[in-house]
Structure 1
């Protein structure tokens, strides 16, 4: 027969020990789950901030490209709309002229059925009815053909303007997105910097000031210039050493990287494209050993950064947000190729 004895109950002391251990495990586990992540070091923050600034510059060059496209489209649309307005005036004059001729025929009682057809229908429709052409004078046929050509030209220009207006709307939307992307990257970088102590931020500021001082001590301009234009462009850029970086800026009081190079060559009397990617295709490509002072220097695989070769293994450029136009070693960034304008 099976035993029906009651199981032995744990002692009060043992229950107390187990309860205390369980409570301790819960507390420790809770603390582990809610423990604040380790505060990043100054070096880690700097690395993340530099990465964010690089991403912001990538977005900046796309922003610049959209902005240039917007300007181009606005000019093209203005020109098309002007052409359409002038074309409509020409068309009205042609219609008035043939209408006056028809009125004269009507008053004299000599208006023919073909002219009546013109006055009551579209010239395109009329000219398709070739059987009536022998009833018109040569001058009337030429006038109607000119009206037809002008109408077709205006229709084409209106369609082209409409297409470009749609493209402009999309470009403006893209421009807004890229602006927000740049601003978000910069805001994230600033948030990281704000997480540092005052002493750590002061150390980083001192490091940046030291880099600026080292830049000022560099001679720059070692060796011959790539061309007369390059020499003039480099001389112009040298006058902007110490001017702050600002995304989308083309000078004269602030610059982004391609804003500085396009401004400098503009001062030399040469127009080059606005963005670094477009500037990469603006002239003859060069290896590092072929570089001369004033040549463009393109960095990163996506070509999102550009500067001017300063000689002696240095580049003069607008680095990124929080810095000023300065000299820097060409080896501090992934060199792609040079461009001689």
Structure 2
């Protein structure tokens, strides 16, 4: 059977859409990427440089989480467009079959002096002008009335699916504009941080904790005490084991494994190994389970940081977490109180 599914291009080059990015989206993109002015003067002390680098990394991480959220929306919209196009194609095939069945009715009416407007409705390739006159169906009597009503309903459904697909494509264009803006925000801040770091020699960077580090140092002895606190569930234990296998792998913004991670990507990948699907962003992960007090944390719980929950780590016991800390660093262990805790979630 020949498919009637229309071909729709999804990029900014779709016909009739100009660049594919609305003026509002372009304005929003400009707001999302303010100029980076955190450059250090040559006379700045190393600790001043560190403070600025830390601030840039924090800004980059926030922008990366916004990127992750927009990427998640993009994937959802693409999936919905596919569904709508498939539904419209199936509806068109059904409508064609119904039209074929109504063909003899039109022929008989034509021979007797004309075609009933209701029959013309479903046989027309441009049905819009007829749809507001559905009352004409009342003029059709007998066994064909039900068939005709079904055809009209099928025709209306096809039109609605195609209209929804068009609206969803518009939303996809806007989401892709946001993705580009968030990507630029991340890249500009990371580039500024790199320029600042280049002003420090390797010894200074290491002394200030700005070196890459391999992240493979064993947990301190107090973690061994924490092992006596069992994970909250078998899936939590599996997630902890996965996160620990990632120790030493690099931070890469937007990455969710298996060879590199950002902070929320590490959580997504670790719990995926346990058969659990988590939201892609740290903000989404904050509400992905039951909120508990920090003092009740057990291995496998997610620990969210900063007021906007823009960083996430996994508690592993003994007052330690495992996380992907920042660009240029590897997945590693750190104290659970390394920065202000916003909340703890048990998945």
Question: Residue by residue, what CA displacement relative to the aligned partner does 1:18-60 show, whole Å, maximum 9, x if unpaired?
Answer: xxxxxxxxxxxxxxxxxx9551111111111111111100000
Corresponding position of 2:246: 240
| Separation of aligned partners in 2, 1:60 and 1:168 | 19
1:51 pairs with one of 38, 49, 55: 55
- Alpha-carbon distance, 1:162 to partner: 1.1
**8 Å contact kept, 2:102–2:119:** no
Instruction: Give matches, 1:186-225, under 5 Å.
Output: 186-197=190-201, 199-201=203-205, 203-204=207-208, 209=213, 212=215, 214=217, 216-217=219-220, 219=223, 222=227, 223-225=229-231
Please report the TM-score for the alignment, with normalisation by the length of structure 2. Answer: 0.79
Structure 1 pair 249–38 and aligned structure 2 pair: CA distance change class (3 A)? closer
Gaps of 5+ in 2: 1-39
More helix by share: 1
**8 Å contact kept, 2:255–2:261:** yes
Corresponding position of 1:307: 313
**8 Å contact kept, 2:47–2:208:** no
| Separation of aligned partners in 2, 1:201 and 1:116 | 81
- Alpha-carbon distance, 1:332 to partner: 0.9
| Separation of aligned partners in 2, 1:216 and 1:68 | 34
Structure 1 pair 76–206 and aligned structure 2 pair: CA distance change class (3 A)? closer
- Alpha-carbon distance, 1:333 to partner: 1.0
Structure 1 pair 37–260 and aligned structure 2 pair: CA distance change class (3 A)? closer
**8 Å contact kept, 2:106–2:119:** no
Corresponding position of 2:301: 295
| Separation of aligned partners in 1, 2:264 and 2:132 | 55
Alignment of 1:82 with 2:86, yes or no, is yes
Gaps of 5+ in 1: 1-35
Alignment of 1:228 with 2:229, yes or no, is no
- Alpha-carbon distance, 1:89 to partner: 1.2
- Computed over aligned residues only, the root mean square deviation of the Cα atoms, in angstroms, reads 2.5
| Separation of aligned partners in 1, 2:174 and 2:76 | 14
Structure 1 pair 146–92 and aligned structure 2 pair: CA distance change class (3 A)? same
User: How many residues of Structure 1 are paired with residues of Structure 2 in the alignment?
Assistant: 299
1:171 pairs with one of 168, 171, 175: 175
| Separation of aligned partners in 2, 1:216 and 1:208 | 18
SS across alignment from 1:271 = coil
| Separation of aligned partners in 1, 2:178 and 2:208 | 35
2:99 pairs with one of 95, 101, 106: 95
| Separation of aligned partners in 2, 1:298 and 1:206 | 22
| Separation of aligned partners in 2, 1:309 and 1:196 | 33
SS across alignment from 1:306 = strand
| Separation of aligned partners in 2, 1:138 and 1:206 | 83
- Alpha-carbon distance, 1:217 to partner: 4.8
Instruction: Give matches, 1:250-329, under 5 Å.
Output: 250-329=256-335
- Alpha-carbon distance, 1:115 to partner: 3.8
| Separation of aligned partners in 2, 1:140 and 1:43 | 84
| Separation of aligned partners in 2, 1:290 and 1:198 | 40
Corresponding position of 1:128: 135
Alignment of 1:146 with 2:150, yes or no, is yes
Structure 1 pair 206–142 and aligned structure 2 pair: CA distance change class (3 A)? closer
**8 Å contact kept, 1:118–1:126:** no
- Alpha-carbon distance, 1:116 to partner: 7.0
